Amino acid sequence: MADPNAVNYIGAAPLHYVCLRKTNWRGIANIILENGANIDCQTLAGKSALHFACENQLPELVEVLCLFGADTNLLDTEANTALHLTLLKEGGRDTVKQQIIEHLTASGANCLAPNLRGVTPLHLASGGGYMRSLQLLVQLGADVYAMTARGETGLHLAARSGFAEVTQFFLMEALPLLDVQDSEGNTALHACAAAGSLDCAVLLMRSGADVTVTNNRSQSPLDIARVRGTDLSNNHNPELMQMLKDANKGGACLQS
């Protein structure tokens, strides 16, 4: 048999390529591993076969690699673990991500690990709108109050991306995050105003978000919404801006 540990110019071995396939090559992975492949071989970018399988949303291959003892906490060059890469992959079914998370954590994956930007798997699930994955991570011990290197919380990320269900989850599980400011002084409501996320803004304001808080540029959420209106941004939401105006005039938060 050919050398199972031979690598190409990017440092990828045969096992890496098995984990790039969209079809199920579980049997081939077994053969390569049984013939002495280094399961934790990393490419020049620090990616292992497990990383590739997670990126490509292949739960059956993830299961095989975990059974063979793959290091679930191995870091790539950006300090992403297999959990990060599972959730960094845009699109894909949340149920598939959930399956992969279950395999990884059953094999010792650390759901609290931050990457170089201070981003944890919980942050990625929040910003990606992966509700099932988020709930599972929290059940497994993920910190709902975790902040990125920029001081952003899961609530900031969910609100910016317009994921109302995830936003509501944080309001139920971690209400003290409501007016937390990131390193630029922005609250989750600022994030909504910048992104035009009306539904999330309604949830935040009904929960008591302070509409008068200003960021490091002395901008309130209304100021941010006005900027989006003057630059004709795709994120401008006239209804959201009017709601913020009304709340500022009334000096109170939106009531349910």
Mean pLDDT taken over the chain: 91
Could you tell me if 178 and 252 lie in one domain? yes
At residue 256, the pLDDT reads 43
CATH of the domain at 114: 1.25.40.20
Could you tell me if 166 and 256 lie in one domain? yes
Q: Please, are residues 94 and 133 in contact by the beta-carbon 8 Å criterion?
A: yes
Could you tell me if 23 and 125 lie in one domain? yes
Could you tell me if 115 and 201 lie in one domain? no
Last residue of one domain, picked from the residues 123, 142, 161 = 142
Dump pLDDT digits (tens) for 18-42.
998 766 677 888 888 888 789 999 9
Q: Which comes out higher in pLDDT, residue 81 or 90?
A: 81
Query: Per-residue pLDDT for 176 more than 90?
Result: yes
Could you tell me if 117 and 181 lie in one domain? no
At residue 33, the pLDDT reads 87
What confidence category does residue 108 fall into, taking pLDDT thresholds of 50, 70 and 90? very high
Could you tell me if 155 and 136 lie in one domain? no
Last residue of one domain, picked from the residues 142, 161, 185 = 142
How many domains is the chain partitioned into structurally?
2
At residue 194, the pLDDT reads 92
At residue 250, the pLDDT reads 67
Q: Give the range of the structural domain holding residue 215, as residue numbers without chain letter.
A: 144-256
* Mean pLDDT across 198-223: 96
Last residue of one domain, picked from the residues 99, 121, 142 = 142
